[in-house]
Amino acid sequence: MSVCLFNSPPTLSLPTPAKRTLNSILDTSNNWTRKTLLGGAITGALSINLLLSSPSLLALESPSPSLEHSQSTEYLCREEETQQDFKVESEAPQVVTNEGIVEEAWEIVNDSFLDSGRRRWTPQSWQQKKEDILSGSIQSRAKAHDIIRRMLASLGDPYTRFLSPAEFSKMGRYDVSGIGINLREIPDENGEVKLKVLGLLLDGPAYSAGVRQGDELLSVNGEDVKGKSAFEVSSLLQGPNETFVTIKVKHGNCGPVHSIEVQRQLVARTPVSYRLEQIENSTASVGYIRLREFNALARKDLVIAMKRLQDRGASYFILDLRDNLGGLVQAGIEISKLFLNEGEKVIYTAGRDPQYQNTIVADSAPLVKAPVIVLVNNKTASASEIVASALHDNCRAVLVGERTFGKGLIQSVFELHDGSGVVVTVGKYVTPNHMDINGNGIEPDYQNFPGTGHHCLGSKMVISLNNLNKTPYAGWSDVKKHLSECNINRQG
C-alpha cells in the first residue's frame, strides 16, 4: 500500500508502488495500516510516503574490533540479505479475496478517518456496517468495488472516495525528486535519522540506474545528506530535465556502497512567476511573486525568485495566492518557514490518532524579513491557506482580498492490494491562532490595498497584477504600521 498526503481536491499522483512480491515479506494482517499512516509525513519532510516498508536488515555491532568478529558480522549481514532477497523472488504474491478487499478498505477508514463534522461517525456504527456488508459472500471484484464506493459515500465526506485500478494508476506518476524515488526519514537504533528509498518508480530513471527499494541515500553530487530532511534532499535531487545527478547509496544496512549517475526526468512545471516593480515617486521597489500551485518545484523555485528579487533591490514583497487551490501539504509548510523566525508556529495538525496531533514550527532564520502582502480570494485553498495563516498569525504579512475557500482537511491516498485505492480524510489543520480553517476560511485584513483607492477585487489594479504590467501599490507605510501593531498585540 502506498499513500500520498495532500490537502486540495486531489489532482496529484503517487509513486508507483513497489512490486507486489514485496508483500510476501510484509505484515498483511488486518492491522497493517495501524500506526504507519503519516509516520513523519507532516513533521518529516515529504507529503508523499510509502507505507509498505522494505525488509528490515539488522547490522550486528562488534563489541571489539577483532577481525574474526568483523568477518562473522559481515557474513551474517550477507546471509540475512540473501534470505530476504530469496523471499522476494520466490514467494508468490498474496491472493486477495473480494471480501478481503472490502475489509481492507473498511480497516483503513476504521484506523484513520477523521469525521469533518458533516455526519456523526462512530466506531460502533462503522463496526455494524462491516458486519452487515460481510454477512454474505461477494461474487465479483466489480461488486466489491461497488460496495466500497457505497461504504465510503455513507461517511458523508466529499473528499473520501474510492479509486478504481485505472484511476489509481493515473495517480501513480507523481515524482517529488525528479529521478523516480520517494525518500523517508527512518530512525536507527542510535536515534539518528537515515534517508531510505521507500518508494520507487519501477520504470523510472533511478531504478534503471541501479537504485533499489530500501537503499540508504548517503550523498547527492558529493554533498553529505546526513542531518538533512527528506524534503531538503529531494530539492537537491531536482534539476533541469535530462541533466544528471550523482548519488551515493548503500544497499541494505551492511553495504555495499555505490556511486550512481542518474538522469533526471521531470514532469512538474514551475508554478512560480515573478518580477520587480518600481514604486512611483520612490527609490524603493516591490518584488511581485505569483504562486499557482504547491507542487514539487514550488519551494525551490520560490527561493530562487525571492533571492533574485532581493539581489535586484526588492524592499517589499507581494505574494499572490489567488486562485491557488493548494497541492502538497509539505510544500506549503516549507514555504511558510521561509518567512518565519525560528520557533514560530506554522500550523497545528489534528487527527483521531495521536500521531496526527502535531505542532509544526519554523526551524531556521527567515529567508526574507521585508514586509509582505499576501493576495487571497475565494479560490485560495488548502496549502495556500496554510501559508496565508502562518504569515498572518505571526505578524509577517497583511492579507488583502476576499475570504479564503476554507478547506482545512488532509487526505491520504491508500493503495489496496488489487491495485485500486481509497482517498480518506485523515486529519485537519488549525492556524497558529487556533482557528479551524475548514468551512470557515480566513478573513483578510483588507479588501482594498491599505492607504489607496485601488480596490483589490475586480478592478484594473487586479488585472494589472495578474498581467504583471503595472506598477503595484505604494502604501507600504500602512502595511508596516499594521504589522508593528500586530507584533505589539501578540507580545502583550
Active site residues: 382, 407
Closest CA to 299 of 383, 406, 195, 179: 383
Tell me the sheet residues that pair with 262. Answer: 245
Taking CB atoms within 8 Å and a gap of at least 24, the contacts of 288-292 are: 288/317, 288/318, 288/320, 288/465, 288/468, 288/472, 289/317, 289/318, 289/319, 289/320, 290/320, 290/468, 291/319, 291/320, 291/321, 291/324, 291/335, 291/384, 292/323, 292/324
Identify the H or E element spanning 288: strand 285-291
Identify the H or E element spanning 317: strand 314-320
C-alpha torsion angle, residues 115, 116, 118, 123 (rounded to 10): 10
The Cα 349–Cα 360 span in angstroms is 8
SS3 265: coil
The Cα 321–Cα 391 span in angstroms is 12
Residue pair 196/183 in contact (Cβ under 8 Å)? The answer is yes
The Cα 197–Cα 216 span in angstroms is 6
The Cα 462–Cα 426 span in angstroms is 36
Q: Rounded to a whole number, what is the distance in angstroms from the first to the last CA of the chain?
A: 49
Identify the H or E element spanning 386: helix 383-393
SS3 273: strand
Per DSSP bridges, beta strands 372-376 and 397-401 are: parallel
| The three cell numbers locating residue 402 | 476576499
SS3 163: strand
DSSP 204-263: SHHHHHT--TTPEEEEETTEE-TT--HHHHHHHH--STT-EEEEEEESSTT--EEEEEEE
Per DSSP bridges, beta strands 272-278 and 372-376 are: unpaired
For 144, half-sphere exposure in the C-beta direction (CA atoms, 13 angstrom radius) is 24
Q: CA 151 from chain center: how many Å?
A: 27
